[in-house]
Amino acid sequence: MLDYRFPTALQMVLSVAMAEQLGKRSTSAILAYGLEANPSFIRKLMVPLTRDGIIVSTLGRTGSIHLGRPAAEITLRDIYTSVIEDKKLWASRPDVAPRCLVSANLCWYFKSIAEEAEEASLKVLETRTVADALAELKKRDTSNCEPLPDLDIADCSKKIR
């Protein structure tokens, strides 16, 4: 089963960063509309992102979501580890009966490869910040989209139900 928490959280954080640059408001309804995602999934992802200081949200009719620290200080690794938590990149098979050289040793061997691959991935994510990612998206943009359209929160809520 594919896990969409990291790419969704990354898009959320980048959307909040873009809105802040443009002086626009971010809410869970606006994020859900922009990501074409269920608002409850967005709110669920906001919990670890808020806990880890990546985003902050204010409640109420005029509430909004903001970055918890400057975009240049939030790495993609921060976002990944926040929403993925302890889930491994690759899961190994449970121990199987040692019937041959392969079955007797594959579990530890696979775990070592998976740990090495995960560490390499985390090192790549650690070298990129939200500010870097947003700058690269702007530089390589071919969409001709508005940077962030003006959205009525009530309209967003109706469209994503």
The CATH number of residue 8's host domain is: 1.10.10.10
Q: How many domains does the chain have?
A: 1
Does 108 map to a domain?
A: yes
Range of 20's domain?
4-155
Residue 18 lies in a domain: yes
CA–CA separation, 21 and 69 (whole Å): 14
The model's pTM: 0.84
Q: What is the pLDDT of residue 47?
A: 96
- Ranges of the chain with pLDDT below 50: 160
- Beta strands, E only, the chain: 55-57, 65-67
What is the distance between the terminal CA atoms of the chain, rounded to a whole angstrom?
Answer: 25
Question: Residues 6 or more apart from 126 whose CB is under 8 A from it?
Answer: 75, 76, 77
Token digits of residue 35: 């990501």
Residue 129 inside a domain? The answer is yes
- 20 within some domain: yes
**Residues 6+ positions from 53 with CB-CB distance below 8 Å:** 68, 69
Task: Give a yes or no: residue 58 inside a domain.
Answer: yes
Whether 138 maps to a domain, the answer reads: yes
Q: What SS3 state is found at 2?
A: coil
Q: Does residue 161 lie within any of the structural domains?
A: no
Helix orientation angle between 28-35 and 39-51, rounded to the nearest 10 degrees: 120
- By DSSP bridging, strand 65-67 and strand 55-57 are antiparallel
d(C-alpha 135, C-alpha 8), whole Å: 19
Q: What residue has token string 């910040």? A: 129
